[in-house]
Structure 1
């Protein structure tokens, strides 16, 4: 049973971590390149715990600008690694990449390399003339799906969240796609909260997304919840994300920022 729970949680909660950040990517006016709260070279690292067990780490990076179809683009990277204990049950060495236009208005490309038993080489290509996203895995393509303008992939949405001016009791929503489906994610800002972690004490906004549309362990759980604590400053960095489902709580805590 423990092995089954570990296998369920490891990757599902990587996705949850992103989804928690995602729902705050509500549509905004175009963000100018000089006023964004992140810069090339930024690196944010999180520890991942299941109940009292350390499970691994997650690391976000802002990589140097790249070029896609002749256009300059942002390049974001998320690396997720399980620790030695979890490796014995379900080894994870995953790499997720998001690419957006230089105006930072919408995604251009999304990639996911997944290791272990469930290997994947995913690519999601965005066609903004047709307003579609097309998912492929190891070259096998699905039919394109329709998406609205200003839709972000899971990794890029983590950064889009950080340009929002949160207000207490503000209801938020946004379009998101992983290439297989598109939906409007909703959530709410509950208010301000102080939180103390090994990495420091932070003044934050407490944010709660709606999760009843999610599958897997969420569908099996009674009253599942996701809570995020995001710094109440210009950088808007999530310092803790807590997911509660029937198999327990998974917590992502900020370790360091470079």
Structure 2
């Protein structure tokens, strides 16, 4: 059941481009909340939420604030309890990352990571339980594995689009890539939703993905101005998981 907890990370590890978006309305804002069910093979094993928090400040600079949580359901808690939380901060345009916090609690495994982006020096500093572990040089534009999702949602999608952007976990930085394959109707607990099918390049993903010959990771985004991730599907050697959107709460206002 350890792999259940990667589901929220995978939906956030979207590899996409930082394209010009002048004049494009941002499709999210404070108060937006996306709720998902996590299924491992055909079993409902957990739930996840993505939420945009009120705007704030980071080191005296106005910032966007995003939060994600994942937890196993009660029957899974009995033998492998998961309570994971991630938070990210970006500039107001969501054009580069400022900070990323990760608090993992998975069975007997507990880890807290604080990733600080120093825009002036173009480095990241990765702290584990308050101790500096890595200082890594970065390109001018780089995202963490959560904020890249929201940068992606700013883009205008169409079939055959290809994307690439720098993504880091503080230990290494990779050029993540993805491809908008087609549009199709997707069945979800919220009904049938027309969506863009986005295939993610998984060559930089380790663990079970690296060990699986025919592994894949696909995300469907609603084919409307909101560009909501409505479904995630992976296939690996030990099975597959899906995340399905079960509830959507829109932003509190239209001044996004």
Pairs within 5 Å for 1:66-105 = 66-105=56-95
Q: After the TM superposition, which residues 239-250 of structure 1 pair with which residues of structure 2 at under 5 Å, given as runs? A: 239-250=230-241
1:167 and 2:158 equivalent? yes
Name the structure 2 match of 1:18: 12
Is the Cα contact below 8 Å between 1:205 and 1:229 reproduced in 2? yes
**Alignment partner of 1:56 is 2:64:** no
Question: Deviation at 1:136?
Answer: 0.8
TM-score, structure 2 normalization? 0.93
The gaps in structure 1 that reach 5 residues or longer are 1-5
Aligned residues of 1:31 and 1:103 also touching (Cα < 8 A): no
Partner residue in 1 for 2:124: 133
In 2, the alpha carbon distance for the partners of 1:61 and 1:14 equals 12
Q: State the Cα distance separating 1:30 from its structure 2 match.
A: 5.9
- State how far apart, in whole Å, the 1-side matches of 2:186 and 2:4 are: 25
Asked if 1:45 is matched to 2:35, the reply is yes
Q: TM-score, normalised by structure 1?
A: 0.92
Structure 2 portions without partners, runs of 5+: 250-256
Contact preservation (8 Å) 1:30, 1:104 = no
Deviates more, 1:80-89 or 1:38-47: 80-89
Choose 112-121 or 246-255, whichever is displaced more: 112-121
Q: What is the CA RMSD across the aligned residues, in angstroms?
A: 1.5
Counterparts of 1:41 and 1:31, CA distance in 2:
24
Q: Distance in 1 between matches of 2:21 and 2:167?
A: 17
The number of aligned residues is 248
